Structure 1
Amino acid sequence: MTHRFWTYAIVLVLVVQALCAVFFVYNIAVALFGLTPLPWTAYEALELGAAVGLLSGSIIGAFALRRSFARTALVEAQLRAASGAFMELLEERFVEWGLTPAEADVALFAIKGMSLSDIAALRNTSEGTVKAQTNAIYRKAGVSGRPQLLSLFIDELMSGPVTGGPANAPEPPAVRSAEDRVGL
């Protein structure tokens, strides 16, 4: 079922539930203020309609909640895939630039936003060594500093899918079939 269907179904159920609430508030007002009650047959029909409305709201709400959970799972899976693809992109660029294993570690920590002193502590080296390694990384990458290094990856991610295909490439079959299962 389409997104539009679910939107209309939820709006319709909300309207029905609002009418059910009006019925029950009217019922209380009749008891409190001594208003003239509805004829018995009309009252029973409205009460039955209110019960059906509340039941349908519960059912549609359960389906909507299930759909929401499925959509959340799909988005989380896509985020995990993008995160993994980002790491692949980093590794590809590090190899392309000819970074040593130590420089690749330092570059990764720098991209994560760690300070030179934090990187030095993690790598059990001096800050001077880390500074020399970052300068070598920037030179090999053709940038002048950390912000430009990070922008290389951000620009590449924003230019299209992380997989390297064109921006208008079709979705992978796994994503498409997951969306079909969820009904998106």
Structure 2
Amino acid sequence: MVWGHAAVRDPDGRGIWIKAPGWGFEEIDEGRTQLVSFDAEVLEGAGKPHKECHIHLEILRARPDLNATVHTHGRSAVAFAALGTPLLPISHDATIFEGEDAPRFTLTGGLITTPELGRALAETLGGAPAALMPKHGLVAAGTSVQAAVMHAVLLDRACQTQLAAMAAGPIQVYSGADEAAAKRAECWADSQIDAGWTYLDRKAQAERKV
């Protein structure tokens, strides 16, 4: 609906570009974005900054190599995180973590409304492509918009797949660490991340024309 958000680092270092609060992604145009400084002040655009702008500000402040972040309340991610069980590489999607469990931010299940909480979330994310936020949602990051979006999509899909498998019975087959790492390199090279993003973009453009 209107509560997820994505951000992109301003190329001139002034802060982040983020969608204005209260709008769904499909409603966003240039007039519904904000440039928010690293001090959480709106430099361009209308209205107050998003309550959770600190998610994006603090991750991108902590990781100069990253350029984009995504926060969603994906239902599969929320449901899976509530189980407290490790995310296993039973699918291609889960191998973005190279056989490791997804990081989990457990300091709070509430909104990330302060720089302190944003910094704690950034620390939890570390160098991972995405992290679960139990009782809340997920956060993903990348060196590009394409990567950040796809990391969010892949984490939610991995959670959905494991939920389905666990509903049928105990999980018995999944990749080991070496195979999972090899699959990440093979399945999620930049070219494949871009291919996934391009498909989602085509799909969104087609839906807008209907």
Please tell me the TM-score bracket, short chain as reference.
under 0.3
TM-score computed with the length of structure 2 as normaliser? 0.23
Higher helix share: 1
Comparing both chains, which one has the higher relative contact order based on Cα–Cα distances under 8 Å and sequence gaps of 6 or more?
A: 1
Q: Which has the larger radius of gyration?
A: 1
Using the size of structure 1 for normalisation, the TM-score is 0.26
